[in-house]
Amino acid sequence: MILAALLAAALSPNCDLERPSGAPDCTREVVDALPMTAIQTVGTHNSYKLAVAPNELAMIRSANPKEADAIDYAHPPLARQLDAGARQLELDLAYDPQPGLYATPLGYRMAGAKAEPYDFAPLKAPGLKVIHEVSVDYRSSCPLFRGCLAEIRAWSRAHPDHLPILILLNLKEGGLNLPGAVKAPVFDAAAMDSVDTEIRGVFPEAELITPDQVQGRRATLREAVAAGGWPTLKMARGRVLFALDAPPDQVARYRGARRVLEGRVAFVNIDESSPAAGYITLNDPKAQAERIGNAVRSGILVRTRADADTKEARANDPTTQAAAFRSGAQYISTDYMSPDARFGPYSVEVPGRVTARPNPLK
């Protein structure tokens, strides 16, 4: 950790860690010696999400204006986000053991003859589905988890020098308490295994950063990250890592009887004191600034948010994103890598207009 701090301190704050300039304080050799925790970059929240069809959004707004505002955002395809500099993506997964459960969503049926076209064929295919809310906010740029992964891997293979891409996974269970609404099944042991199986079916081990790789011979993952067990940027380039951004009960089901995360693909969102601690979600960079800083200094990867529920964009309020960048969180998530013209100029980019900068806490 001391070496990481010295290396990062030697770099210009505006050094682009993905594309070093070659200046004396921003060379590839110096940058690549940094641990992958010494970066700060941006990514997207619910990265797959397409806009709710206008007539369906109007129905939601008539019943719940606040909820309609909160889901009134969308993202371009994953590859375009990566082209724009996103180095963190987020996918929401729904278990579909008997394919087709989500293929006739309530919102689409309620729209009737006014429903806007949507290709439901992928939702009838086997496999985990990528979807925000299974009944009313179902439109996705990559409805199949395998399809999202294939798109990310194709981009990664075409850009082998990219910084490590963090892919957050949320597991959707249950649903709306409305007549005709679908309830997503619980992620049981088989479903948890299917998450790893689908990832490993697309990404070979050499293109992943896994808990076992980081833990190495240390007794726990927590011990390993505290001792600087994360790979250097040289080793992490061209690779991806997954984190289960989930509540404690889901994390427990994913871990099963494991002492740490033996054999699992994804890191987990867990208290910093746990033997499985290597990643944590701390989404309020104002209220949780001290906790974020302490986690980062102790070797843990942190994701926080620059905005939520369209509030900052509608108010053109940059204070949360400023707090996020000050916090030292390595991955800062936004719904606005580019402005939404309906709301104004609000957007989020790494200070210095680089893909990733040296972490201010390293």
Burial per residue of 79-115, b for 16 or more beta-carbon CB atoms within 10 angstroms, e otherwise: eebbeebbbbbbbbbbbbeeeebbbebbbbebbeeee
Kind and range of the H or E run holding 169: strand 165-172
pLDDT reported for residue 314: 98
pLDDT reported for residue 8: 52
Dihedral, CA atoms, 197, 202, 206, 208, nearest 10 degrees?
Answer: -70
- Cα angle value 42/133/314 (rounded, 5°): 50
Using CA atoms, how far apart are residues 140 and 50, in angstroms rounded to an integer?
5
Using CA atoms, how far apart are residues 325 and 151, in angstroms rounded to an integer?
29
Using CA atoms, how far apart are residues 302 and 288, in angstroms rounded to an integer?
11
**Could you tell me the pTM of the whole model?**
0.96
Count how many residues are written for the chain.
Answer: 362
The amino acid at residue 182 is V
pLDDT at 2 over 70: no
pLDDT at 1 over 50: no
Indicate the pLDDT class of residue 14, thresholds 50, 70 and 90: confident
Mean pLDDT of the chain: 96
pLDDT reported for residue 5: 46
Helix, strand, or coil (residue 197): helix
pLDDT (mean) for 41-56: 97
What are the tens digits of pLDDT across the range 128-187?
999 999 999 999 999 999 999 999 999 999 999 999 999 999 999 999 999 999 999 999
What are the tens digits of pLDDT across the range 59-101?
999 999 999 999 999 999 999 999 999 999 999 999 999 999 9
pLDDT reported for residue 12: 83
In this structure, are residues 42 and 85 in contact, taking their beta carbons and an 8 Å threshold?
yes
pLDDT at 226 over 60: yes
| DSSP tag of 116 | P
Kind and range of the H or E run holding 242: strand 240-244
What are the tens digits of pLDDT across the range 286-319?
999 999 999 999 999 999 999 999 999 999 999 9
| DSSP tag of 144 | B
In this structure, are residues 40 and 329 in contact, taking their beta carbons and an 8 Å threshold?
yes
